[in-house]
Structure 1
Amino acid sequence: MESLKAGIASRGHVVGSFVNTGSPICAEIMARAGFDFLAVDAEHSPVDVPQTFSLIQAIASGNPACAPLVRLPHTGYAEIKRYMDAGAVGVIAPMVNTRAQAEEVVAAVKYPPFGRRGVGYCRANGYGTAIAEGVAADNDATFVCVQAEHVDAVNNLDEIIAVPGVDAVFIGPYDLSASMGLTAQFDHPDVIAAISRIHTTCQAKGIISGIHVVQPDPAAVARYIRDGYGFIACGLDITFLANACSDGMTRIRQGIADAG
């Protein structure tokens, strides 16, 4: 499987989505749809490590080329390594507001000498059949994305992205705007300026910038790609499902009305 970093380097961007339902069926269907990555959302859903394990298996079943990521519940070392051992090829770490937090995430994702991830028999290394090559490959290929979703992260961004091993910064527009007292006011000049500052700082430092188009919007995805964003999440399984059901019922009701 091509790593996300290699995909971004070759194509300029990757487009993925989030899995919030905890359903392996949804994860497998979404992988088959052709997303470059799917992030199991362990932050904003009741999904735990065993469920994540099954979801990662489902993603691999649907499309082995789809990279399984985990949006972590927090930046603690002990839990991060469990998600990585389950087979995640990278993480999206929430609320990383300081350099120390970024360093903790990298240390948990990377094996020595670059980090302090423990080595044990697990899915990530073929249950012990590919430990040596697995460790070397993982240190090169694993994807570390920190979320800038608080005004403190904006203010400390230069220090955060200077941490070796940080590949990308993912903008969380809802939490970022909320931390500014401007919840969901995405057209507010201060919110626009904060998002622009994150993106331009990343570009200047050679760090991948990412953003979440929460409501699926192909035009918005295309616009962000034109603007130079390399890591884009479009929607979630729950928004795709909700929108499809709503649109379907609207058409059904209209069809009934037209026939009646």
Structure 2
Amino acid sequence: MKNLRSKLRSGHTVVGTWCNSGSPIIAELMSASGFDFVCVDAEHSAVDVPQAQTLFQAVAAGSSSCAPIVRLHGVDYALVKRYLDAGARGVICPLINTRADAELLVSAVKYPPEGRRGVGFCRANQFGVRVSEEYKQANHEILTAVQIEHIDGVHNIHDILSVPGIDAAFIGPYDLTASMGITAQFDHPEYIQARDRILHACQEKGVVPGIHVVQPNTDELIARAHEGYRFLAYSLDITMLLHTCQAGVAKLKGFLAHRELESAGGRTED
């Protein structure tokens, strides 16, 4: 079975989702649903490293073909190492705005000589059973993705993507539009232009373009795939749950309200 990085490097398009709830049950369920990856969000959630390790285990339990990855809170060498040791098979790092940011990320992810990640007994190497194997394989298997979510990152996109070891560039639509003064205006011409600039730079540099469609809108994600994005994230657990609950409640309460009106009309006629 190919790992996530190998799938992308082979030209495949992958579809995953986000886990913000911190629920191992939901993480396992999403993994078993057929997603190629489940990304544990350590930036915009209360999930810490021990919880993330449990979530990675849950993803692995759901399906051996679903990769557990993590969205970091930033480039913090000590924490990057801990999430990888806990079993993350890829990282997405937010707010990468310069070449120096990207170089720091690669250095934190890669074992020497390509980086400076430390070696220790941990879940990633079966607590010491596979130290040599993991050391040899990790630099070839761990996905390293930058998140472009500020206009400064767009301006510096070619420099960022020129850093050896960057596998993918992932657009953060909400923060990117916020940095442009057009928060959540995803149809705005300036945002579309910025998005296209990132996509074209990825294609030029041989880096996989990725994007997150936060609302559970399959048509929009399919449209992004048609444009050339291959690292696709479909919504997140809490948003999918919220939409399902809202739709169900709205339909049921609409039915009940209509029935009450009919009943009231019948009583008036009597």
Tell me if both proteins adopt one fold, taking TM over 0.5 as the criterion.
yes
Partner residue, 2:182? 182
Q: CA deviation at 1:112?
A: 0.8
Whole-angstrom CA distance in 2 between matches of 1:9 and 1:91: 16
Whole-angstrom CA distance in 2 between matches of 1:12 and 1:30: 20
TM-score normalised over the length of structure 2? 0.93
Whole-angstrom CA distance in 2 between matches of 1:8 and 1:14: 7
Higher mean displacement: 72-81 or 2-11: 2-11
Whole-angstrom CA distance in 2 between matches of 1:206 and 1:11: 11
Going from structure 1 to structure 2, the CA distance change for 1:107 and 1:9 (only over 3 Å counts) comes to closer
Partner residue, 1:234? 234
Whole-angstrom CA distance in 2 between matches of 1:208 and 1:197: 14
What do the CA deviations read for 1:11-39 (whole angstroms, capped 9, x no partner)?
63100010001111111111111110011
What do the CA deviations read for 1:149-168 (whole angstroms, capped 9, x no partner)?
00110111111111110000
- The residue type paired with residue 138 of structure 1 is A
Partner residue, 2:31? 31
What do the CA deviations read for 1:114-155 (whole angstroms, capped 9, x no partner)?
111000000001110001111111110110000000011011
Residues 1:168 and 2:168 aligned together: yes
Runs of 4+ in 1 over 6 A off after TM superposition: none
Whole-angstrom CA distance in 2 between matches of 1:251 and 1:29: 26
Whole-angstrom CA distance in 2 between matches of 1:96 and 1:219: 28
- The residue type paired with residue 8 of structure 2 is I
Higher mean displacement: 75-84 or 243-252: 243-252
Whole-angstrom CA distance in 1 between matches of 2:252 and 2:109: 48
Q: CA deviation at 1:96?
A: 0.5
Whole-angstrom CA distance in 1 between matches of 2:259 and 2:33: 34
Whole-angstrom CA distance in 1 between matches of 2:179 and 2:66: 33
SS of 1:127's equivalent in the other structure is helix
Q: CA deviation at 1:9?
A: 4.1
- The residue type paired with residue 47 of structure 2 is V
Q: CA deviation at 1:251?
A: 2.7
Whole-angstrom CA distance in 2 between matches of 1:248 and 1:19: 22
Whole-angstrom CA distance in 2 between matches of 1:185 and 1:254: 30
- The residue type paired with residue 239 of structure 2 is T
Whole-angstrom CA distance in 1 between matches of 2:145 and 2:62: 24
Name structure 1 gaps, 5 residues minimum. Answer: none
- The residue type paired with residue 213 of structure 1 is V
Whole-angstrom CA distance in 1 between matches of 2:184 and 2:233: 18
- The residue type paired with residue 245 of structure 1 is C
Partner residue, 1:250? 250
Whole-angstrom CA distance in 1 between matches of 2:257 and 2:7: 48
After superposition, where does 1:35-114 map in structure 2 within 5 Å? 35-114=35-114
Whole-angstrom CA distance in 2 between matches of 1:191 and 1:218: 20
SS of 2:87's equivalent in the other structure is coil
SS of 1:184's equivalent in the other structure is coil
SS of 2:127's equivalent in the other structure is coil
Partner residue, 2:213? 213
TM-score normalised over the length of structure 1? 0.96
Whole-angstrom CA distance in 2 between matches of 1:94 and 1:66: 22
- The residue type paired with residue 217 of structure 2 is D
Larger-Rg structure: 2
What do the CA deviations read for 1:86-124 (whole angstroms, capped 9, x no partner)?
000010000000111111111111111111100000000
Whole-angstrom CA distance in 2 between matches of 1:44 and 1:90: 17
Q: CA deviation at 1:10?
A: 4.3
- The residue type paired with residue 58 of structure 1 is A
What do the CA deviations read for 1:22-81 (whole angstroms, capped 9, x no partner)?
111111111111110011000000110010011001111111211011000111111100
After superposition, where does 1:105-124 map in structure 2 within 5 Å? 105-124=105-124
- The residue type paired with residue 99 of structure 1 is R
Q: CA RMSD in A?
A: 1.3
Name structure 2 gaps, 5 residues minimum. Answer: 261-270
